[in-house]
Structure 1
Amino acid sequence: MTKQNSSGQSLCGLSRRSLLQSTAALLSVPLVAKATMAWAQEKLAGSGEVVVYSTGGSFTEGARR
């Protein structure tokens, strides 16, 4: 058992609450990263066709090449 000062914190500077909050945050990181990556892949999936609007001229010819 660790010694605590009058404010309820242990002498090493971590309270039980802050230790549990930090642990929960660290354990949730892989889940959030996986969900974000799946969402990004879904949004970036397309038909493979690129549609470009141009007024014509030499720029359009260069883009087509």
Structure 2
Amino acid sequence: MNHRPRLWSASEAAEVLRPLARDADLVIASDDELALVADPAAHSSMAANRAWLRRASRDPKW
């Protein structure tokens, strides 16, 4: 990811990037960028990573 906050807000970016990240096999992001695509209920990058891994383990295409 390469979020550019001067081009669009975090909420606009999350709305577009979250569905794309869900379908990606690999997402490379900094902690602040990961927050854009992670489960909004995740309050830390560690929690976001755990949520991402849980989703991946349930997804049959993985």
Query: Which TM bucket (shorter chain)?
Result: under 0.3
The one of the two structures with greater contact order (alpha-carbon pairs below 8 A, sep at least 6) is 2
TM-score in terms of structure 1 length: 0.26
TM-score in terms of structure 2 length: 0.28
- Structure with higher Rg: it is 1
